[in-house]
A and B are shown apart, each in its own frame.
Chain A
Amino acid sequence: MTSILKPQFLKISAIILAASVLFSCEEDAPGKEDTPELITKIQLTFTPAGGGNPIVATATDPDGIGVQDIAPDGQINLIGGTNYRLSIEFFNGLLSPTEAGYDITEEVLEEANEHMLFFSWDGGFSNPTGNGNIDNRTDPVRYADNDSKGLPLGLLTDWSTQATATQNRKFRIMLKHQPDLKSASSGSNVGETDVDIQFTFNVTAVN
């Protein structure tokens, strides 16, 4: 029934709309919030222990909570037989680097007692051995930083690449938020996930 009347409704609506616009004010938008939980960019910096150029890799999410996927911006190319110190940083790439709230690494550091990074890989490293501690907390990972209780954090870790070349290895990083749950045995299935991202890396043979 309403469909028959519709054109008339639209006319009436248009008139009322015109009237409404005249006396209604523009709606104020919500204030601009900082969004310290919104991480859209992860940066890995592998610095060779003996000096040399650091190797930087990033993964970027173009639209945060939008539909587009986060993806690594290319592969990580490490040099074989090298000791690296890996430093991990988190950013909100939807903000410009000068805006407050751009760098989120600091926040994780401040709450080190309830955060921990976990790692997994499928080859390419001579030390640590194995496949990482995402599947099993006790598997070796060389943490180079601690929280105030002496438990590992993982923003800094140490890695030694194997001497032989290998291609298309997977390297997964998981940051867990474990309020009141972080312990010497809490694994990657405890708490809430803040970051879970997988890179691909290659190791080139020692020259």
Chain B
Amino acid sequence: MRALFTFLILITSLFGLAQNPICSFSIGGKVVDHEGQALPGASLVIIEQTRGIVSDAKGEFFFQNLCEGTYTLEVKFVGYRTATIKIRIKKDETIRIALEQDETLLNEVVVQEHYDHISKSQTNAVLSGAALEALRGKTLGAALKNITGVNTIQSGPAIFKPVIHGVHSQRILMLNNGIRHEGQQWGAEHAPEIDPFIASNIVVIKDASAIKYGTDALGGVVIVNPAALPTTPGIGGAFHSVWQSNGRSGTAAGIVEGASQKIKGLSWRTHGSVKKAGDFNSPDYVLTNTGFEERNFSAALGYHKSEEAGFEVFYSRFSSEIGILRGASVSSLQDLQNAFNAKVPQYSTDFSYTIQSPRQEVQHNLLKANAHFHRGHNTFSVQYAMQLNERQEFDLRRDSLNSLPAIDLTLQTHTLDAEWEQELKQDNFRCIGFNAMLQTNDNNFGTKRLPFIPNFTSYTGGLYAIQHFTLNNWDLEAGLRFDYRYYTVAGRDFSNAVYTSSMVFANASATMGATRKVGTAGEFITGLSTTWRPPHVAELYSVGTHQSAAAIEFGLLLDETTNRVKDIEDSDFKNEQALKWVNTFKLAKSLTQMEITAYANVIFNYIFLKPEGITRDVRGAYPYFRYRQTDASFVGLDVMVDQVLASHVSVVAKASLLRANDFRNRDFLIYIPANRAELLLKYEKRFDKKLSNAFATFGTSYTARQSRAPRVVTIDQIIQASNEGQDLLATDKSMFDFTAAPAGYLLAQAGVGLSFELRSKKLDLQLQCDNLFNCAYREYTNRMRYFSDEIGRNVSISLKYSF
């Protein structure tokens, strides 16, 4: 718990405080009890700014970048009377806050939500507070793009898959409310089914050392955390509305939460959000059929009995329908060539809210129950979750088939996690845990298509142990994990014949991390980890084309000439194994915040889609890709600097650089995010009385052309060679792309915001304009770049009312 708090302080100082950087004063100090003992985990809130932090392991806290003025500091700790302190700030202040024990509450008081340790020895980045508020209305993937080192693979304006340090899909683990998110992650156009409105903070762990969460975290972990359930009796909440000009979209969301007055420790929360967007538009034309609709709902109920135990149940439902650019639907290379040559995408027409094929309909349900118990220095926690993911993909088909999904999958996942954690001296801890997972994937009958992936059931078990200790000035952490997965698979091959198979994958992961203070304001973190992942069934058995792509995909286990499914024992398959080294230096001074991360990730037996040749079927020539394995390296640098320039004015600079290589074949990888840099100027002024805060921002971002892109083989070249009986892709199997990487681009953005406070209620207003100069550009990592420009200018208005 303490590690988390330390971490929270760090991130608050990096992000939360970055919101008011014009002012350079600080309040630091210590929270103690009546005997002078440190109180770690006390919550501190500056009421005027709704900025909150939690005291660290030594009871210490630190608020930075405060303006001159008087503030109300509210300090809460379970079992103690809440203290409210008025502080006048003219210079940096250090205070000691002693809390009085609350006798009446002591026996029945509410315990703070049980948090997982987020290791000190990890390189994390967080979106929370105002930084997260500014991104409300965006999808999870799009919001994550604001973290340095995180990018996206896009399929149009509404589908974003997060990419951490150049690595994505099955190599990123997502935790939604503490549960390993299980959807159909294999598809490049399958965005995570998580509503970001539910989150009070989103954490990205950039190193692979998130060992307690399971396999697959080769690139990193995305953690979506809702806030802890309220502890103070009463009802509170917020309503949020966002309107955007591009796509003419509207979003409405609300959260209502409360704690019971009668039953101490009983609390609840419910949230809902509705989004609707029509066709987006590029500067020059409408991106027909790119609208989407989303309806989400969640409810949580918790009961916390003193320090000893807590129970919670949680349910959430995510439901979306997303259109895919109509002009991107092609069924042959010739069609693709026509689409490339079209100045305006085929079928581009007037704006509409209608969503037609190609489109996706996805529902994700999560039901979770968890409990934790404290005994002395021990915490035992257990959680069970059931996830039901239903995905239907509608391709553009002949009239009578148009209403039938081409892919119709139901994925059911049960997870059981248990952990024992022991607090040791000197803020150290150890924990031991296990994870079990049962997953079934079913193709629902009635698609009138060959199933793209087979039915399967998987049984997964994992055991881990983590030890945290202090050596001289270093905080060290070591972890070891063992995982086992058993699959039974049954599918249909190209000829509609049944095949069945069963497989076992087992391996170990290990991690070492170390942290030390550098000077008074600096911190150095280094982490080395090795981890692996079992293959996804899609990588082994895929057959066919999916969602309007002019390419055929074959799984690793498909025979090269007969197309029949091979036994895995007869293939040269090896588990993917990563070795990642991440080094971070953080500096947190009153006028300067800085974070520099350098990383190297080597993934052995990296599974990727490799072009293997051209096949001619009745529609004409098609390139086909096979899942193959190679060795890949990802080396990069993330930099973030937040500097106060003058009174009320600050600047934030970010850059992320990445070089990726297929070093076994001495080739480039495709869809690797290009180098990016961003500069944001911010003017912020606080006023007294009703107009409590106002800000204006102007920013610019530059994305370079991806110069390390695979060779270009044009469709004309392929078709011409194919007509002459040559197969250009079979003779040279190196990676290729149909077009060169698009040019680099420079975008500008501007925003203004106002906050009013009336008694305990608060109103936030924001006006934001992205792509200010309506530039026409294409993004290398957007799969729609072959067909259309990115979206043009977008003005969004956001309103939030909290009570």
Q: How far is the CB of A32 from chain B (nearest CB, A)?
A: 6
- In residues 50-96 of chain A, which contact B (Cβ within 8 Å)? 59, 61, 63-71, 90, 94-95
A179 to B356 Cα, complex, angstroms: 12
Contacts of A10 in B (CB 8 A): 506
B616 at the interface (CB under 8 A from A): yes
Nearest A residue to B622 by beta-carbon distance?
Answer: A65
Contact mask for chain A residues 18-60; partner B; CB cutoff 8 A; 1 contact, 0 none: 0011001111111111111111101000000000000000010
Contact mask for chain B residues 306-335; partner A; CB cutoff 8 A; 1 contact, 0 none: 000000000000000000000001111011
Q: How far is the CB of A98 from chain B (nearest CB, A)?
A: 15
Q: How far is the CB of A30 from chain B (nearest CB, A)?
A: 4
Contacts of A179 in B (CB 8 A): 396, 399, 402
Question: Are A70 and B455 interface neighbours, CB within 8 A?
Answer: no
Nearest A residue to B508 by beta-carbon distance?
Answer: A2
Question: Are A29 and B498 interface neighbours, CB within 8 A?
Answer: yes
Question: Are B347 and A181 interface neighbours, CB within 8 A?
Answer: yes
Q: How far is the CB of A23 from chain B (nearest CB, A)?
A: 9
Question: Are B398 and A177 interface neighbours, CB within 8 A?
Answer: yes
B451 at the interface (CB under 8 A from A): yes
Q: A20-B486, A26-B500, A66-B615 are in contact. Are A111 and B398 (CB under 8 A)?
A: yes
Q: How far is the CB of B562 from chain A (nearest CB, A)?
A: 8
Question: Are B455 and A30 interface neighbours, CB within 8 A?
Answer: yes
Question: Are A27 and B619 interface neighbours, CB within 8 A?
Answer: no
A9 to B459 Cα, complex, angstroms: 17
Contact mask for chain B residues 412-451; partner A; CB cutoff 8 A; 1 contact, 0 none: 0000000000000000000000000000001101111111
Question: Are A107 and B398 interface neighbours, CB within 8 A?
Answer: yes
Apart from A20-B504, A68-B563, A192-B335, what 10 extra A-B contacts exist at CB < 8 Å? A16-B484, A24-B486, A33-B449, A35-B496, A36-B401, A64-B494, A64-B495, A65-B545, A95-B496, A179-B396
A-B CB pair tally, cutoff 8 Å: 180
Nearest B residue to A101 by beta-carbon distance?
Answer: B448
A144 at the interface (CB under 8 A from B): no
Question: Are A16 and B618 interface neighbours, CB within 8 A?
Answer: no
B250 at the interface (CB under 8 A from A): no
A184 at the interface (CB under 8 A from B): no
Nearest A residue to B579 by beta-carbon distance?
Answer: A1
Nearest A residue to B488 by beta-carbon distance?
Answer: A27
Interface on chain A toward B: helix, strand, loop, or mixed SS? Answer: loop
Question: Are A63 and B486 interface neighbours, CB within 8 A?
Answer: no
Question: Are A24 and B396 interface neighbours, CB within 8 A?
Answer: no
Nearest A residue to B612 by beta-carbon distance?
Answer: A67
Question: Are A37 and B563 interface neighbours, CB within 8 A?
Answer: no
Identify B449's interface contact among A21, A37, A42, A70, CB under 8 A.
A37
A206 at the interface (CB under 8 A from B): no
Contacts of B398 in A (CB 8 A): 36-37, 107, 111, 114, 177
Nearest B residue to A195 by beta-carbon distance?
Answer: B618
Question: Are A65 and B544 interface neighbours, CB within 8 A?
Answer: yes
B543 at the interface (CB under 8 A from A): yes
Contacts of A1 in B (CB 8 A): 508, 510, 530
Q: A27-B490, A193-B331, A193-B335 are in contact. Are A33 and B563 (CB under 8 A)?
A: no
Contacts of B504 in A (CB 8 A): 13-14, 16-17, 20
Q: How far is the CB of A145 from chain B (nearest CB, A)?
A: 18
Contacts of B552 in A (CB 8 A): 65
* Number of chain A residues close to chain B: CB under 8 A: 60
Q: A1-B530, A67-B560 are in contact. Are A193 and B495 (CB under 8 A)?
A: no
* Number of chain B residues close to chain A: CB under 8 A: 70
Question: Are A110 and B455 interface neighbours, CB within 8 A?
Answer: no
Identify B457's interface contact among A27, A36, A195, A197, CB under 8 A.
A27
Contacts of B329 in A (CB 8 A): 192
Question: Are A16 and B486 interface neighbours, CB within 8 A?
Answer: yes
Contacts of A61 in B (CB 8 A): 616-618
A67 to B611 Cα, complex, angstroms: 12
Question: Are B508 and A29 interface neighbours, CB within 8 A?
Answer: no
Question: Are B443 and A30 interface neighbours, CB within 8 A?
Answer: yes
Identify B617's interface contact among A27, A28, A64, A189, CB under 8 A.
A64
A196 at the interface (CB under 8 A from B): yes
B640 at the interface (CB under 8 A from A): no
Question: Are A38 and B450 interface neighbours, CB within 8 A?
Answer: yes
A32 to B561 Cα, complex, angstroms: 23
Identify A33's interface contact among B397, B447, B618, B723, CB under 8 A.
B447
Contacts of A42 in B (CB 8 A): 618
Can you list 27 pairs linking A and B with CB atoms under 8 Å apart?
Answer: A2-B507, A2-B508, A9-B506, A16-B504, A17-B502, A20-B504, A24-B457, A27-B489, A29-B492, A30-B445, A30-B455, A32-B492, A36-B398, A36-B401, A36-B448, A37-B398, A37-B401, A40-B617, A64-B494, A64-B617, A66-B563, A69-B617, A70-B617, A114-B399, A179-B402, A190-B346, A193-B331
Question: Are B615 and A20 interface neighbours, CB within 8 A?
Answer: no
A61 to B525 Cα, complex, angstroms: 58
Question: Are A63 and B448 interface neighbours, CB within 8 A?
Answer: no
Contacts of B492 in A (CB 8 A): 29-30, 32-33
Q: How far is the CB of A2 from chain B (nearest CB, A)?
A: 5
Contacts of B577 in A (CB 8 A): 2
> Which of A42, A67, A195 gathers most chain B CB within 10 Å?
A67
Residues of B with Cβ closer than 8 Å to A?
A: 329-332, 334-335, 338, 346-347, 396-402, 442-443, 445-451, 454-457, 459, 484, 486, 488-492, 494-496, 498-500, 502, 504-508, 510, 530, 532, 543-545, 552, 554, 560-561, 563, 577, 613, 615-620, 624, 723
Question: Are A94 and B496 interface neighbours, CB within 8 A?
Answer: yes
Q: A64-B494, A65-B617, A196-B334 are in contact. Are A24 and B346 (CB under 8 A)?
A: no
Question: Are B490 and A33 interface neighbours, CB within 8 A?
Answer: no
Question: Are A30 and B491 interface neighbours, CB within 8 A?
Answer: yes
Q: How far is the CB of B394 from chain A (nearest CB, A)?
A: 13
A181 to B397 Cα, complex, angstroms: 14
Question: Are B400 and A111 interface neighbours, CB within 8 A?
Answer: yes
Contacts of B456 in A (CB 8 A): 27
Identify A197's interface contact among B491, B543, B618, CB under 8 A.
B618
Contacts of A67 in B (CB 8 A): 554, 560-561, 563, 613, 615, 624
A42 to B617 Cα, complex, angstroms: 11
A36 to B499 Cα, complex, angstroms: 22
Question: Are A33 and B448 interface neighbours, CB within 8 A?
Answer: yes
A205 at the interface (CB under 8 A from B): no
Q: How far is the CB of B519 from chain A (nearest CB, A)?
A: 35
Q: How far is the CB of A87 from chain B (nearest CB, A)?
A: 17
Question: Are A68 and B615 interface neighbours, CB within 8 A?
Answer: yes
Contacts of A114 in B (CB 8 A): 398-399
Q: A9-B508, A30-B443, A37-B398 are in contact. Are A196 and B619 (CB under 8 A)?
A: yes
Contacts of A2 in B (CB 8 A): 507-508, 530, 532, 577
A20 to B488 Cα, complex, angstroms: 10
Q: How far is the CB of A42 from chain B (nearest CB, A)?
A: 7
> Which of A24, A63, A192 gathers most chain B CB within 10 Å?
A192
Q: How far is the CB of A187 from chain B (nearest CB, A)?
A: 10
Contacts of B402 in A (CB 8 A): 179
Nearest B residue to A31 by beta-carbon distance?
Answer: B445
Contacts of B616 in A (CB 8 A): 61, 69-71
Q: How far is the CB of B335 from chain A (nearest CB, A)?
A: 5
Q: How far is the CB of B349 from chain A (nearest CB, A)?
A: 10
Contacts of A26 in B (CB 8 A): 488, 490, 500
Question: Are B494 and A35 interface neighbours, CB within 8 A?
Answer: no
Q: How far is the CB of A81 from chain B (nearest CB, A)?
A: 30
Contacts of A24 in B (CB 8 A): 457, 459, 486, 488
A196 to B489 Cα, complex, angstroms: 35
Question: Are B495 and A63 interface neighbours, CB within 8 A?
Answer: yes
A27 to B396 Cα, complex, angstroms: 31
Question: Are B491 and A29 interface neighbours, CB within 8 A?
Answer: yes
Question: Are A94 and B335 interface neighbours, CB within 8 A?
Answer: no
Question: Are A33 and B451 interface neighbours, CB within 8 A?
Answer: yes
Contacts of A25 in B (CB 8 A): 488
Nearest B residue to A134 by beta-carbon distance?
Answer: B334
A85 to B508 Cα, complex, angstroms: 69
Question: Are B506 and A13 interface neighbours, CB within 8 A?
Answer: yes
Q: How far is the CB of A170 from chain B (nearest CB, A)?
A: 9
